[in-house]
Chain A
Amino acid sequence: GQSLEQPSEVTAVEGAIVQINCTYQTSGFYGLSWYQQHDGGAPTFLSYNALDGLEETGRFSSFLSRSDSYGYLLLQELQMKDSASYFCAVSLNQGGKLIFGQGTELSVKP
């Protein structure tokens, strides 16, 4: 079977840095994506890693270690609007389906 594990919830204060981890056990692996979802709305794409290392996109960065089947999303300079659910998702093969984790609910406090 396929499984992705991420913490169910994380709380942090404005201006802080938070890291959301994701470990996966899947039958194949092509890449790891991160999506953000506000209040059950449309998930939006944040970041993608196919190779080991860090990808930086503004305040958000994502890391992947294929040998450890592990990745994380790093959010810096947290803002209230970052309060949302964050999902990691594994691509099993190129152009294939995504398998989503259960999501991490991030609460940013003043």
Chain B
Amino acid sequence: EADIYQTPRYLVIGTGKKITLECSQTMGHDKMYWYQQDPGMELHLIHYSYGVNSTEKGDLSSESTVSRIRTEHFPLTLESARPSHTSQYLCASSAAPAGGSDTQYFGPGTRLTVL
């Protein structure tokens, strides 16, 4: 059973506010990911990390930033939220593969609405 947590689950906030979406996992996984998903659409990778102090931008350009100071924690920050940031944000983690699938375990997501 995967143990990956996201808070808050739902967030409604006004334009221009700074927000941080939290993601934590207790599995000791080296790799962590942030995806953005609009309703009924595919998951777009916006950030990923292969270990502490390692972060990379994903395939979808995003104005958000991330940090990875501890293995278990991978927060995502928006300095100034805009209505275009309204979406669901999913966090995932995976272990380094041992020749098998690099299964990703997902958190429940944060549904962000920016007014």
Contacts and interface: CB of A to CB of B under 8 A. Distances in A.
Contacts of A44: 106
Contacts of B90: 42-43
A97 B45 contact: yes
The size class of the interface chain B forms with chain A is 20 to 34
Interface residues of A, number: 25
Nearest to A85: B40
B42 A87 contact: yes
A43 B43 contact: yes
Nearest to B96: A95
A99 to B, nearest CB: 7
Contact of A41 (B44, B45, B97, B108): B108
A76 interface: no
Interface in A76-110: 85, 87, 91, 94-103, 105
A33 B108 contact: no
A50 interface: yes
Contacts of B77: none
A45 B104 contact: yes
Given A42-B109, A44-B106, A102-B42, A97 B48 contact: yes
Contacts of A102: 41-42
Interface in A28-54: 31, 33, 40-45, 48, 50
Interface string B18-51: 0000000000000101000101111111001000
Interface of A: 2, 31, 33, 40-45, 48, 50, 85, 87, 91, 94-103, 105
